[in-house]
Structure 1
Amino acid sequence: MNPIVKTLALTAALAVPLSAGAQVSAQGTLTNFSYALVDLLPNDGIAPSLSIVKPQFASYPGTRAGGDIIETGLRATRNMSEDRTGALYSRDLDASMSTRQGSVVSTISGRHFQDLALHAAASTTGSIGYDRSATASNFMFIEEFVLSPGTQITFFADASGSVATSLPRTNVLRENSTLKASMRFEGLVPDWYPDISAGFELTAPISSSAPNLPFSQSGSERLSIMFDNTESTSLKLKLSISLWAEAQSRDTTPSTSPVPEPATYGMLLAGLALVAGAVRRKRVG
């Protein structure tokens, strides 16, 4: 597997004021799907092959694109979108949306495995008094592959993307963004088995980034997963693919509720006593 390639960028501003328009974001794609076959038993007379046999009943959840934008704090709102199909490659999916609190792009396109394309993007703005998050998620569950006996298969896909914050970590508006992509075989072997899953992840900020500066990074990676069918019979393969982007802004401003000093309590009680005494004298007179 090729090592991850990342580029980092830091803004030149040494101090960034609070801004209602400050934007934190994450975006990425998962494309260029392909596979390669190797004959593990060249003398068995069976040529390596990967057949497509669609299941009689598609398993849940099939193919899904989703978006979720949440706001809490001085006001609570939530906007959700979803586009789903149980018929693989039947149509393009789009669950994108945009609101005042943020925006998401969540799309899945492609009419066969080799031209699949997943795109996810999320962004939101920070504001005093609010916690906000925007999430875009894509998921596919493919169970139509049948692998020939004595055959090794390797699936490939290109993951790429970027994440960025607009405020330093020291700001009371704490920003975080994450991009994740994954591809894995489902139900074949235990999770600890090597090469059955591959993932790609970017986060902002990171622990080593400058605390007084915004942070961004971009990267790409060639994902690959491999399985050996050493049996003398064909094997059905189940493959899951996912792409997920999230952007968050959280207000960490300390509580500003006033707490009276002890002397203030004394003055307040004395004042109430004077008022009560004046009221009683007025009633007696």
Structure 2
Amino acid sequence: MTVKRQEPSSVRLWGAPTLEPDAWTEYVPTGNRQVDDPWLLTTGTFATPEPMEWEEMAHHEPELLWSSTGNVTVEAAGHLWLVPPTLGIWLPSGMPHRVRASAGAITYATYLNPSLIQISWPTVTGIPMSALLREILLHNQRTSMPDTERLRLQQVGVDLLKPAQAASLDIPLPKMPELRLVAERIIADPADNRTTEEWARELGLSGRTLMRWFQRDTGVSLTQWRILVRVRSALIDIAAGRPVVSVSRRLGYANPSTFIDLFRQVTGHTPAAYFRSVSGLDDSTPLPLAPRPRTPSTTPSASTATVS
């Protein structure tokens, strides 16, 4: 199936190789069924010893993309969706998408039978990957299991699929090629300390012109935009188990409390509260929706590298 590629307009994160087939499911090319009746789902495992980018594709079945390690990005619906280990990305049937994985990442693609499940989320959706859901999807890969037992296991897995109860962190990407270059370099190194004037000199512009262009193209200042990128990078690291203190220092914040304050301004939560809201670990009490991400303050701190 050939699909027209749409350049992503933002980087989006939920508030979460060699194409070797696993023992139970073979990878099926785009356009073919990957889950046959009476099965409800199947999961493929893809390890990437080197960075990998798959061609754009769309599947007959809805797909849940998730990972256990490394950085995974899904380009879909005009956005880049980041897939930390705590969260999966739900892709509706037929949605074109492109997947990238870093070296050392392990990515899982769980396909669900659209004729036998009741889920019908119409757009890309964040799914908390609880420990129980992960173990069920992995246990389903075993070959030695009676059919009735496998079907019961798969039904429990389907029942555990719930949308993340937190707003997404949406980072607008500039459209102008010159600004996109700056954006991509900051995304690659969020701790980059260059000021707006320094970036402008590289582009042959004045600092005032770069500030005006960036604000007009993205809706936020370069200072605010870099804070969003740093929070995005921090979410990935914290989800991978790195301590908040070391993450904040890696991003250029000498005082962790400064980083936590900025994190709260962007997401509406402290890091601990944010991950509770999307982890799915406590399903007994419904959690309220997190507020929509707010524009971070541009007040400089002595512990931050200021973009002017």
Q: How does the TM-score come out when normalised to structure 2?
A: 0.18
Q: Which has the larger radius of gyration?
A: 1
Greater fraction of residues in helix: 2
Q: RCO (CA 8 Å, sep 6+): is it higher in 1 or 2?
A: 1
